[in-house]
Structure 1
Amino acid sequence: MNANHWTIHTGIAVTIPREDIDTDQILPKQFMKLIDKKGFGKHLFHDWRYLDLEGKVPNPEFILNKEGFQNASILIAGKNFGCGSSREHAPWALSEFGFRAILAPSFADIFSINSAKNGIALIRLKEDEIHYLIDWVANHTGSQLRINLQAFEVQVGDQFFSFHLDSASVNRIRNGYDDIDITLNHSKEILEFEEKRKKEKSFLEVVW
């Protein structure tokens, strides 16, 4: 089960107003050697975030290194976020860093599937709404947005933006479910199917 489950999230918003941010920019391939989900957050946006290969010299010009944005948990970006390779490590890095939602006009399909498994809501808004949010955050450094997965609304100041998120993703994010949890939720039906199959097709049973 993913510990980062939530229904209503309020957090600091940060903007990276670029289109086609791919998974290699989110997490460069040289950091994909670990075998579990831990340890990737420090390498998030490594090539933009640091001036050296070792990740010891922060780039003062990159937004996540600037005062007021180090604890950001909501990311606003351009269209086609998460394109490129299908590596699940990219959502792992975003989740471990602390991001709970990404707002953009569009997302890559496989990235969308992997994100919900890690407690990250991908919120699709219209391009003019994204531009509004980018300008708003630029003029309100360290300000917070509120995202409600019950009302399907993003609140910024006194403005509200509606969005749609499929029920499967909402279920995963609100309950912290991964693929194993989803399967276990149907354990009764699985057992009933197995028992029925044994009775109806007993000849398929293998005896060792």
Structure 2
Amino acid sequence: MSAAPFTRLTAVAAPLIRPNIDTDAIIPSREIKAVSKQGLAQGLFAGWRYTEVGGREPDPGFVLNDPAYAGAQILLGGVNFGCGSSREHAAWALAEYGFRVVIAPSFNPIFQGNCVRNGIVPVPAAPERIEALARAIAPNPQARRVCVDLATQTLAGPDGEESGFEIGAEAKEMLLHGLDAIDLTFKRRGEIEAFRAADAQRRPWAYL
């Protein structure tokens, strides 16, 4: 299993609405000290989150250090979110921190795929919709939460507005059931085994 299944989430949403947030901003290379998925949350947005390079003194002006947005599980981003290198560590860091959804006008395709494989729902939304969500949330982020329903593919904000969003059928299935790519393939195990049995009859020499 790649992550916990995702059906519906109502949570605090943190706005980080900047264009072209690349994977080196999400998790700087200096913060990647192991190949595992663990231990990356502290390095998430380290270049913006802390007052100095390599340090851990929180910058009070950064949204994730604002107590109003404590416990955020939804991130509001800008256009071309996750551009740059293909490092999967960016999705790992977001997931370990606790984010289950990133809402942005557009995503780098590799990053988008990495999100799906790690249980993060990439929700496309128009820039003006994201800006409106940020404004609606701002008076009281802990109370004025955002709801993402993957089953119905709807996004609802504290302003009462609800809108649909697009996601690929395969990505949706993986997220709804907490599957990785191998799990998804194994759902067709019966077909695979039937093909192998038939193929072994046709080409017995290939199975020696």
TM-score higher than 0.5: yes
Contact 2:105 / 2:127 at 8 angstroms: preserved in 1?
yes
Equivalent residue number for residue 162 of structure 1:
164
Among candidates 179, 182, 186, match of residue 181 of structure 2: 179
Partner of 1:12: 12
User: 2-side partners of 1:4 and 1:96: how far apart?
Assistant: 12
Confirm whether residue 61 of structure 1 aligns to residue 61 of structure 2: yes
C-alpha separation in 2, matches of 1:42 and 1:114: 19
Does the 8 Å CA contact 2:68/2:140 hold for their aligned counterparts?
no
| Rounded Cα–Cα distance in structure 2 between residues aligned with 1:74 and 1:24 | 20
In structure 2, the partner of 1:203 is 205
Q: What's the Cα RMSD here? A: 1.4
2:148 paired with 1:147: yes
Q: 2: distance between equivalents of 1:52 and 1:125?
A: 33
Partners of 1:15 and 1:137 within 8 A in 2: no
Which range moves more in the overlay, 80-89 or 140-149? 140-149
Q: Report if aligned partners of 1:43, 1:55 keep a CA contact under 8 Å in 2.
A: no
The answer to whether the aligner puts 1:40 opposite 2:40 as a matched pair is yes
**Do 1:103 and 1:123's aligned partners in 2 also have CA atoms closer than 8 Å?**
yes
Residue type of the alignment partner of 2:152: A
> 2:161 and 2:145 mapped to 1: Cα distance?
12
Instruction: Give the equivalent residue in structure 1 for 2:74.
Output: 74
Matching residue's letter, 1:170: K
**SS in structure 2 at match of 1:190:** helix
Is the partner of 1:68 in helix, strand or coil? helix
- On the 8 A contact 2:72/2:99 being kept in 1, the answer is yes
What does the per-residue CA deviation read over 1:2-50, in whole Å, with 9 as the maximum and x for residues that have no partner?
3332101111000011000000000111233322211111211111111
**TM, length-normalised to structure 2:** 0.93
Structure 1 residue runs of 5 or longer lacking an equivalent are none
**Greater CA drift, 71-80 or 182-191:** 182-191
- Show the counterpart of 1:122: 122
Moved more, 166-175 or 16-25: 166-175
Q: Bigger CA drift: 127-136 or 18-27?
A: 127-136
CA distance in 2, matches of 1:54, 1:29: 11
SS in 2 for 1:197: helix
Matched length = 206
Gap runs ≥5 in structure 2 = none
Task: State the distance in 2 between where 1:35 and 1:4 align.
Answer: 21
Whether contact under 8 Å (1:8, 1:146) holds in the other structure is yes
Of the structure 1 ranges 187-196 and 98-107, higher mean CA displacement relative to structure 2 is found in 187-196
Residues 34-79 of structure 1: per-residue CA shift (max 9 Å, x gap): 2221111121111111123444211111110111212100011111
